[in-house]
Copies of this chain bind each other. A is one copy, B any other.
Amino acid sequence: MAEVTLKDVALASGCSIATVSRVLAGTRPVGAETARTVREAAERLGYRPNHVARALRSRSTGTVGLVLPQITNPFFPTLVRELEHALHAEGRAVLLADCDDDPETEAARIAALLSRRVDALLLIPVDERRSREAVAAAAAQVPLVLLDRGCGPGVADSVAVDNAAGMALVLEHLAATGRRRPCFIGAAGTASTAVERRAAYEAGAAALDPEAPGRSALGDFSVEWGRAAVDRLWPSRPDAVVCANDLIAAGALQRLRQLGADVPGEVAVTGFDDIPLAGLADPALTTVRQPVGELAAEAARLLARRPAGGDPGPRRTVRLAPQLVVRASSVPDPRPLDRTRSASKV
């Protein structure tokens, strides 16, 4: 299995290795006749370009680093899948890094990817603040796009769902179906998803009921917290439990059922993200779907747009419109309300 190189193909096709390179890489125009001969010889010899050599010379590896907090977070696999496909379609490979939800691990992973000379970085930061330093340093070296979560202003390009719009869709739906006493189970902390969703609840719920913003409990994005928070909020007899993500909502649903509550008759429950679990819950969860495919496409587009040269330039932020998915946890006989999706750039 002796490696076939450009030289071999050049020898076999009777032209220089430069020409062969140009044909196979499609870098520059080449005579039609020669091109055919070369391609034929390459085919016949079973030539496979050596990406390593190419990368060394051209200073571009054709790889993108994908750094995320925890692949086991059920929202990420779908996103990873879309990103992998979008990038592969452009002939780029994905180096995956899992940070174990720890900013120090994250910094180490970023450094490792950088020393592997990734062309760019796609990154979902572990923490709004504690990730900032490492992210900013990385953004100075390669094009970097923040996904799903922010990391302070002006640090890098970013693309995320419009959390406020999503929460507004939920509240609008609850109002339209006659709910008047909503409450909120959210996440404490500075993560942009946590902040934006709870702010949007507070802003929107006040219109429904002046007391509503006060009926909220803040913990983390977990099922356990969803269960615990219900015990805190249920005594106030809400007719809707708005949750900051689907995991919380799944926990809330479980606990409400244990307490004998009638969902959705007595109380509606809503989530956010539309992870696979949402459709499986019983009753199935009304939630806000993130446009994962577009998120991935937009991230790829931002990467392509930003020049490889270290020039920072102005940061771009893309916000994608979410979609409400109505299921049995908020109405007895769900009938999906399709919302049109659109992207707005800021």
Residues in chain A within 8 A of chain B (CB atoms): 1, 48-53, 55-56, 61-63, 66, 70-72, 74, 76-78, 80-81, 84-85, 88, 93-98, 100, 109, 112-117, 140-141, 223, 250, 254, 257, 276-277, 280, 282, 310
Contact = CB atoms under 8 A, between A and B. Distances in A.
Contact of A52 (B55, B77, B250): B55
A94 B62 CA distance: 15
Contact of A84 (B71, B115, B250): B71
Contact of A257 (B50, B250, B282): B282
Nearest to A55: B52
Contacts of A61: 52
Number of copies of this kind of chain in the complex: 2
Nearest to A258: B282
A280 B277 contact: yes
Contacts of A56: 50, 52-53, 56
A72 B276 contact: yes
Most chain B CB neighbours (cut-off 10 Å) among A88, A96, A282? A96
Contacts of A72: 77-78, 81, 276
B51 A117 contact: yes
A70 B81 contact: yes
